[in-house]
Structure formats: C-alpha cells, structure tokens
Structure 1
Amino acid sequence: MYTTQMDAAKRGIITEQMRIVAQEENIDIELLRQLVANGRVAIPANKQHTSLSPKGVGEKLRTKINVNLGVSKDCCDLELELEKVKKAIDLKAEAIMDLSCYGKTQEFRRKLIEISPIMIGTVPMYDAVGMLDKDLKDITVDEFFSVVERHAEDGVDFMTIHCGMNRQTAERVKKNKRLTNIVSRGGSLLFAWMELNNQENPFYEYYDRLLDICEKYDVTISLGDACRPGSINDSTDAAQIEELITLGELTKRAWARNVQIMIEGPGHMAINEIAANMQLEKRLCHGAPFYVLGPLVTDVAPGYDHITSAIGGAIAAANGADFLCYVTPAEHLRLPNLDDMKEGIIAARIAAHAADIAKGIPGARDWDNQMSAARADVNFPRMIELAIDPEKARKYREESMPECEDTCTMCGKMCPMKNMKKILNGDDLSIL
C-alpha cells in the first residue's frame, strides 16, 4: 500500500489520479508516473478531498491557474465567497486558495472542499491567530502544527508554508534594506513571531514534523517565498536567492519522505529578469514545479494589475513556470469582488494559454487554429463559442451590430476576411 502519489509512482504503481491526469493532458501514463516519481510533476490530492477531480502541475503539462479568495475582518461575507467559488469553477480555474483569516474559517473551508472538484490550497499561518484566538507572540510551536494538522484533516490538497525563511535569511533581510521589506503576509507573520520570541522558524526547525503530517494525508507542500519581491526594486536580491537555495534543500528532504513539493516565486519583477529567475528556480530546486504570483512587471498600475501580472505570467510560464496565481484589478487596493475575480481569472488563463503555445504543449495551438478558421469564414457565432470569455464576446457583438451581419462595425463592407473569401472564390465584390 502506498502513502502518497509520489510514493506510488516510485513503487511503479499507477494511481487513479495519475490515470485521470494522463488522459486529460494527453500524456503517456508511464512518462507521467516517472515525472511524479522524480518530483517534476505534483498531483495535489489530499486523501480526504473526495470530491476532487485531480490535476497535475509541472513539466510537460498545461500551465495551471489558481484563484485566491476568502474572508477578512473587513469583508466577511461567506455567501459571496461561495459564489466566487462557483464562478471560479465555471471559469475553469484549476485551483482555489482559501486565504480566510477571520471568523469561522473551518466552516467555510470544509464547505469549500465538499463542493469543489478542483484542488484547494490554504495558508495555515493566516488562520493561526483567528483559530487559536491568541496574540501572535503567544502562539506555541505545538499550536502552529495543530493548525496545519487541522487543515490537512479537513482535506486541503496543498498548503503554502514558509519553511525557507530561517533566522539566517531573516538577518539577510535586515542587513540588505529593501524598498518594500517583506510583503508576504504569512512570511511577515513568521518573521514577527521569530523576532518577538527570539526563536527559529518552527516550520524550518521542525520540518520533519511537517513532513509527517503531509505524508499522512498526502498534502503537497507549496514552499512559500517569504522573501518574494514586493517591488521591482527588490527583485533577485540576496534574501530572495538565499531563501530559494534553502527551499531547494527542503525539497530534497521532502522527496526523501515521498511528500510532493511546489516552489513559490515572485512577486514583482522587471521583464528582463523573469526568464533568468525561472531557470534559477528549476536549477536550485531540482526541477520542482514552480508556482508564481505574477510576476507583476511594473509597480505603477493599481486597478490594472491583472494586466501587469498577465504580462509577467506569460513570460514566466513560457520560460518554465508551471502554475500561475491570478491577480485581480483590486490587487493592492481591496478584497476583490466577483467582477474583479472574473477579470483576474481571464487574464491569468490568457497568460497560461499563451505560454502553453510557446512551450509547445500538445494541442495548445488547436484552439487558436479553430478560432482563425472561424474568422476566415466570418462565422461570428463560432468565434463567440470559441472565445476564452464567450459572455463578453457576445455582449460586445450585440452592443454594436453592423448593417451586414457577416461583418462587424469596425470594417463593415471593407471586411478583409469577407472580401478575400469572395475574391478567392471568384465572386463579384462591391464595397459601396
């Protein structure tokens, strides 16, 4: 009997989850098993998440996207968050991270896992203060691990845990002044706990204890980047790279215990640094799947950061990133609403698909070729059907209908698609 997907893969066992992923990705099942065995693909699938339709994240697979949601003290509408969950599933996100940090977090988390066929992630550090009802400084090591175990028992498929920011890296942050310090919420909480208690990061010091929990439930650890850059000024600095080296070391320790790993990455980063950072992660972390937030390629676009993120995400994924965390127009400003979430998902899906074309993922170009064929035929119903957001495409079409239905109001009778089709068919042409 195997303990985790990685354990099964190493034993030569093909699990039902592997079969589903191989069929969905159109990849040879034996190749997929090998990729899972050597850690280059993760299939986050907690044994307790019975409604899950598993997805693979990593090498030779489609780029996946994650949606963040959850309640805060200022915005605590659980019904709205559940509506977001259903919308994210409808819009074909592959993962949802519940970042709730206030109120009845377990009740919402359990409901989310119960109804969701897509993988669920959490950041237990966010939940610690609320769940334990204690000031951060007073939380004990045992209590931190009790929160992790609670999330695992509830069925969470992957957890972001900032294991790599040890005291040495924390000192590096203090000695190398950043413009934006530590912008990771979980990372900043851990940094504060370490400073207030003059202790080592418990998830680093007692890493084997974390592995015990994750092996038991087959939870994938998403090794959090506490030192990710929060501005393009801070990218690729000493703290970020030092933490990445530590994450690579922790990756090998997890694999030795058959615990699946993903590595989290930047953040904010200028375009010209992205490709090199993807190569660094793959090299230093031994080819483990890479999960990036953005990267946001400029800091000056609040209200449009779904665009800055999509630009960086497409470049990152084309150069090796495997998993994109969406960013909404509300980033840096407020908790996103339903419309913000949709804009963020569509932007991230465009970035992921563009990268899959560049990576040569089998079948990625087929969708584009079908759309181009529909355009050549001036077939607007088919174009709308194929659109990444059919609802918006239909709305734009219906808001401005042309005189001739087989054109649009941009070109009218001068439509090059329509006219080229007529000329090549030997038909008469009148554009008056």
Structure 2
Amino acid sequence: MDRFALFEDVKSNVEAYRQFLKDSNVENVKEWDDIPIMTKENYLLKYDIEKTTRKDGMKRCSLIGASSGFSKTGSVYWLKQADDEEKYLKAIEESFKALYSIDKKRTLVIVSLAFGMWIGGMQLACAMRSLASKVDYQLTTALPGLDLKEGEQIVKRFKNSFDQFIWITNASNVSIIYSLLKDDKDLLEGCVFFPVVGEYFSESFRKDIALKFGHKSDAVALWTGYGSADTGDLGMETKETIGLRRFLLENSALCRELFDTDDPPMIMKRTSSAFVEIIDGSIVVTKDQLIPLIRYDTKDSGILLEKGEFEGKIPKSLYQGLPDEMICIFGRVSDSVVFYGTNLKIPQIGRFFYSLKELKYSGVFEVEQKKIEGIDTFYFTVYTDGENKDKEKYCKDKLIEFLKSYSREFNAKYDSLTKAADIELINVEIKEISQKQAVKKHKFIKG
C-alpha cells in the first residue's frame, strides 16, 4: 500500500483527521515519523464517529459494532462495510480448508463467543452462517454463545452425525470445555478443534490442549489469527508459523537469541492490507477501511520478522514453507502485574504454573489487585483440572520463589514490603476450572 497517498487522502477527506492534525499542531508532514500517533483516547473517543469516515462513509456502513473494551466514556464503536465482511468470509474459508479440510469432512462449527454489540462474536457468527449456506459441502453451524453447557449438549447430541467439530471461542474457555467433555471418550479422540480469538496463549497451552483432546503431536488443534474490531485482520497462523513456534519452544537458546525470552511469541503471517510499524514495542497500524487509521496504536506488544532472519538457524524443511513477512505478538502491552512498580509479565507467570505438574494446571489464572486497609495486595486464582485446595500454600510459596528468581527488583523489595505492611501481599486460591464461568472477553488481570 502507498501509505503517504493514504495519509494525504484521509487528511483531505476525513474531517476528524484534519482536526486531529490541527489539535496535534501538525501542519506540514515531510517524513512519515512526523505524523502523530493515533489512539482510542486521542482520536476515536474525542471526535464524532460520523466525522471519522469519508463523506459517504455512513451510506456505505452495513454494520455498527463495538470493541470489547470499555473506557471511562463508554464503548468505542466501529463502522464496517460489506466489502470488509466479504473479505473476512473468504479468509476464514480458505484457512479452515487448509487446516481442517472442511470441504472434505462433515463439520459442525460451534460459535461460543459473546454476541450483542461486540464485533468479534457477531461477525464470526454471521460469517459462519453465511458460509454454511453458500458451500456445496456439509458445513453446519450452531450458535450457543457463551452458554458453554448448551454447546456441550449440542456436540454430544450430534456427535454421530459429523466427522469433526470446530469450536470457535476464547482461548481461556477451552479448558472449561474440556472439563465438560472429558468423560466422553469419543470426543477426546482428535475430532474437536479450536479456532480461538481474543487473547494471547502460550505454545505450552496449545500443546496441553492437543494432548487432552487426543490429537497427534503435529495436529493444529488450537489455532488463531491476529486482529481486532479496530483494525480487522492483521495476521493469521499457518501450519508453518505454528511449526516455527513449536521449534523455538524446544530450542530455548535460539528463542532467547531472537526474543530475549524462553517463551516464543505468537507468530503470524502478515496481512498485505495494512502497513505495520513497531514503535516502543507496540504494534502501530495504518489501514484503509470505513474508519481509516493512520499510525494507530493497537496497544499490543510485538515485533516484525522476515523469513531470511531464520536462514541457517532452523531446519531447511521448516524454513522453506515460512511466509516472507511475519508479525510476532507478545500480548497486550498492559499484560503485566505491576507489583509496587515492578512489572511481572503474565505469560511468564502462566508458564511457571505449568511447571507445577502436580497442580494439573488448566492454563487459566486470574490476578486481582485489592486494597486491604489501604494496602495493595494481589490475589491469584489458579484454575486446575481437579481439586487442589491442599496445595494452595505450596503454590503460593513456589510462586513467590519464582517471582524472586524472575525479577531482581521483586526479590529486592518483596520481603521488606511484606514486613512493613504486616500482611500477606500475595495470596493464592485454587479452583477447579469447571467452576469458572465464560465471560465477555477473558482477561488474565482483573481490577
């Protein structure tokens, strides 16, 4: 895409963007870096939504939806046009053919997402219904939404009528679904797959889910794309990018060399429909759509990679199939527990819980910051596949031990702060995953 041409077009034809540049004291743009960064707060929530489109924008709007997040002033609304939906539908069909052979197997697609105004849920529900009505192969949909128990009943009731089940949901709901299906051996023999949306998950979690649902080690039991209500699709996993991530998980030295961590990020094939930059570790997107975006900060943490960076570092058979351009996602920029000024990364904590094998960790935990007599304390709820109440103290002690080894800053301050406060600053509760309810959009951090 010609990003400068898009910038000039938007500046000329989008009233809100002209005002944004004026309010940002930007008159003459000579270099791309002179263009101010756009955010929800300084643009989308500041200007009238009708003025964020070109003059004929509202005439072409076929859908009004909302981001899942909320600000102090309410939801961020998004306008979508029919072309956006059609491209989305085609991309899903091609991906599902490549990964799940939906054109060759009798397939039931269950959409277990929040519906209503959230674009992610209703767009996927509409896309799957539309796709099922158009194709000449057996594709059937069911839309139980976040009633996971109804989804369970549908799968069990119709399990003999289909070869496979594709369950579209949030990654954090997959463990709950396992708790509902684990007693039905027929459904744990490699016939249930999970295209998931809405959140970062580790490669360890993907491996764990594949084993639980009876898949072969190289099967793509869990798969995702990257995008949002804001930007649309920006990337999708392929068999090759998943294979690369698996290889990096097993080769920690190379992973540390590339990413400065043992836990590889999510790796996606980049879309060609957007210009993507990494600014201070955050993914910034320029894309033409009904509400065009110029240098929009997604608040997601990531990096860009080219295929050539892996030449000679990974097996040739893996290298050959990689896309030329990739985008790597580490999660939300805000995916940290901020403990008295020390940033503790959520993915690393999740990986630690996986290391406690006796816990039967489900892959889901939450942490809530609470004030007790004016003092900030942190309550971790760790969800497991069985009853583990007797291990709460063990888990808490191990967590604190891990955090001390993970962060020198945490190690330097934890004991002295706890002594000064005279209360426990970190507490751990263990619950069975079956007790957890599906939510609108899961976040590891609450509060």
Query: Normalised by the size of structure 1, how large is the TM-score?
Result: 0.27
User: Which structure is higher in strand share?
Assistant: 2
Larger RCO (CA within 8 A; separation ≥ 6) = 1
User: Which structure is higher in helix share?
Assistant: 1
Query: Normalised by the size of structure 2, how large is the TM-score?
Result: 0.26
